[in-house]
Structure 1
Amino acid sequence: MGLTTCLWFDGNAREAATFYVSIFPESSLADNWIAPTDTPGNKTGEEIVVNFRIFGQDFIALNGGPQFPHSEAISFQIPCADQGEIDHYWDLLTKDGGQESQCGWLKDRFWISWQVTSPEMMKYLGGSDAQGSERATQAMLTMKKINLEQMKRAYLGL
């Protein structure tokens, strides 16, 4: 038994699932569900559900209609190993209509919210030097994409 995350889209579930699978390693598209008859949101023969997997986690992309837009109340966090990974995922997720926010948050072109972070940044935000952590926090508050070197320098007071 496990949990499957269902993401609601307005007619572009296949496009979104294909986009996510193209970004993350160990990802794949799976089966889909086609409407056998007309439904309130789909016509006969239209794709209702696209199943996909990212990092071993199952997802459903559902063509549900415009009723429920995405918000920051739900987000996915990507714990990156280093600045190169942060840059990689940030650039891919913000291209073609994505939107940068602050403190490592962004929305992709489908308006799904992401946090592109790193365990390293948590060392600076929650380190044993309270003043250093405060400086690192203040530095982070000025950032959109996380810059680990700037956070480290702030933490160390450089």
Structure 2
Amino acid sequence: MEKRLTQQRISSNLWFNKNAEEAVDFYLGIFKNSQKGRIARYGKEGFEFHGMPEGSVMTIEFALDGQEFIALNGGPHFQFNEAISFVVNCKTQEEVDYYWEKLTEGGDVKAQMCGWLKDKFGVSWQVVPEELTDMLQDPDAAKVAKVSNAVFQMKKLDLPKLREAYGK
């Protein structure tokens, strides 16, 4: 029996229609220090509920930069929405550019705003420069307002423009 990737107590479970393995491979190609773990397959039991062919992928454990996830092929019953998103904290504009470019590939262009995006599988992400959090928590309300207004004008966050709005 294969060993679990980690012993993380809480893992995010992502419900895909039938393309969980494709999604996992897509994410593994983007995030460094990532790996695919155990795969469980559907048996003939429960076909009347799940409708998946025997032997097809049911779940895949995977980790992105040490964060453990489970991908499930659960059928078309549920869809992703923006109420849940994953935040990618970036140290530099180059990191923002990299993750934005990779995660938006084939995604929903209409869902891109203020650093948020929806990838080609419908999963929502926020690609955020780490400095932005400090800027938005500044006690100077005028600085926070200028940075906030700048964010609202952007799709992909632009760290030099945010710094300019902040007064750096």
In the superposition, the TM-score normalised over structure 1's length comes to 0.93
Question: Does 1:58 pair with 2:68?
Answer: yes
State the number of aligned residues.
157
User: What residue in structure 1 maps to residue 12 of structure 2?
Assistant: 5
User: What residue in structure 1 maps to residue 40 of structure 2?
Assistant: 33
Unaligned residue ranges in structure 2 (runs of 5+): 1-6
Question: Does 1:135 pair with 2:146?
Answer: yes
Query: Distance between the aligned counterparts of 2:138 and 2:42, measured in 1?
Result: 53
Displacement of 1:89 after TM fit? 0.1
Name which of 105, 113, 118 aligns with 1:95.
105
Question: Does 1:23 pair with 2:34?
Answer: no
Question: Does 1:120 pair with 2:131?
Answer: yes
Residue pair 2:107, 2:122 contacting (<8 A) in 1 also: no
Deviations 1:93-124 (A, max 9, x none): 00123435211000000010001012211232
Question: Does 1:82 pair with 2:92?
Answer: yes
Structure 2 SS opposite 1:3? coil
User: What residue in structure 1 maps to residue 3 of structure 2?
Assistant: none
Displacement of 1:70 after TM fit? 0.2
The one-letter code sitting in structure 2 at the alignment partner of 1:43 is P
Unaligned residue ranges in structure 1 (runs of 5+): none
Residue pair 2:147, 2:166 contacting (<8 A) in 1 also: yes
In the superposition, the TM-score normalised over structure 2's length comes to 0.87
